[in-house]
C-alpha cells in the first residue's frame, strides 16, 4: 500500500486536469510496463495536455540489484536499474539499453526506510506540441523497497513543459510513502 499527493496546477496557476487511467488492487492484475513484465502499472494518472503522466509501478528487484544487500544500494544504481527495466531499446547486437539518462540521484531515509529519489531525461514520442521525430521527456522518480518488491512513483512531462511543472512534480515524489497494507 502507498499514498501520495499530486500537483493540480502549474507554476502559472493553470490547472492540471488529471484522469485516472489505470488503478489495480494487486500486482498480478496490473498491466506490464515493460516487455519482461517485471514492472507493472498499479496506478496511472494522465493529463492529455502535454501529455503528462504520473505512474506508480511495482516490480521484483531488477537483476542489477539482486546480488547486493538493500543497504548497499546507491540512489544512482536504483534509478538506473528501474529505468533499464522499463525504458529500453535495442542496439544492433540485440542487447537492451536504457533510453533514460539519470541526472541527479539521492537517498533520503524516512522512518528508517531508504527512499531513492532521482531526476532523469528519456526519449519521448512525437506529440501535438512537438511533432519532431526526436523528443525528450523530463521526469522525477522515487523508488522504495519492501519485501523484495520495488515501488516506484514517477511524474513526467515533455521537456518543453518542465520549467512550468518541475516544482509540483518534485512535491509529488516527496509526498510518496509506503503505508501499512490493509489486505
Question: Is the predicted pLDDT of residue 159 greater than 80, yes or no?
Answer: yes
- The cell numbers describing 159, all together, are 521537456
- In the predicted structure, residue 90 carries a pLDDT above the cut 70: no
Average pLDDT over residues 147-173: 95
Residues 152 and 100: their CA atoms lie apart, in Å, by: 15
What value does the mean pLDDT take over residues 9-24?
A: 89
pLDDT at 141: 98
65-88: average pLDDT: 90
**Strand, coil or helix: 35:** coil
Mean pLDDT of 75-94: 77
Quick one: average pLDDT of 90-112?
77
Among the ranges given (60-69, 85-94, 154-163, 169-178), the one the predictor scored with the smallest mean pLDDT:
85-94
Cβ distance 58 to 31 under 8 Å? no
Write down the pTM of the prediction: 0.86
CA distance 2 to 20: 16
- 2-178: CATH number: 3.40.1000.10
Domain ranges of the chain: 2-178
Condensed to tens digits (0 to 9), the pLDDT of residues 25-55 reads 666 666 666 666 677 788 888 898 778 999 9
14: helix, strand or coil:
coil
Amino acid at each position: 500500500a502507498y499514498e501520495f499527493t499530486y500537483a493540480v496546477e502549474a507554476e502559472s496557476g493553470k490547472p492540471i486536469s488529471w484522469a485516472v487511467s489505470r488503478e489495480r488492487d494487486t500486482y498480478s492484475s496490473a498491466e506490464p510496463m515493460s516487455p519482461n513484465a517485471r514492472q507493472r502499472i498499479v496506478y496511472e494518472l494522465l493529463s492529455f495536455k502535454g501529455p503528462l503522466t504520473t505512474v506508480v509501478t511495482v516490480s521484483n528487484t531488477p537483476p542489477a540489484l539482486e546480488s547486493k544487500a538493500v543497504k548497499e544500494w546507491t540512489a544512482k544504481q536504483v534509478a538506473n536499474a528501474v529505468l533499464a527495466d522499463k525504458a529500453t531499446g535495442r542496439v544492433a547486437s540485440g542487447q537492451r539499453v536504457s533510453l533514460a539518462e539519470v541526472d541527479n540521484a539521492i537517498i533520503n531515509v524516512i522512518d528508517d526506510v531508504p527512499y531513492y529519489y532521482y531526476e532523469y531525461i528519456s526519449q519521448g514520442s512525437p506529440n501535438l506540441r512537438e511533432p519532431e521525430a526526436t523528443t525528450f521527456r523530463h521526469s522525477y522518480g522515487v523508488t522504495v523497497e519492501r519485501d523484495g518488491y520495488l515501488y516506484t512513483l514517477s511524474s513526467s512531462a515533455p521537456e518543453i513543459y518542465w520549467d512550468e511543472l518541475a516544482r509540483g512534480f518534485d512535491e509529488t515524489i516527496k509526498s510518496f510513502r509506503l503505508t501499512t497494507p490493509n489486505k
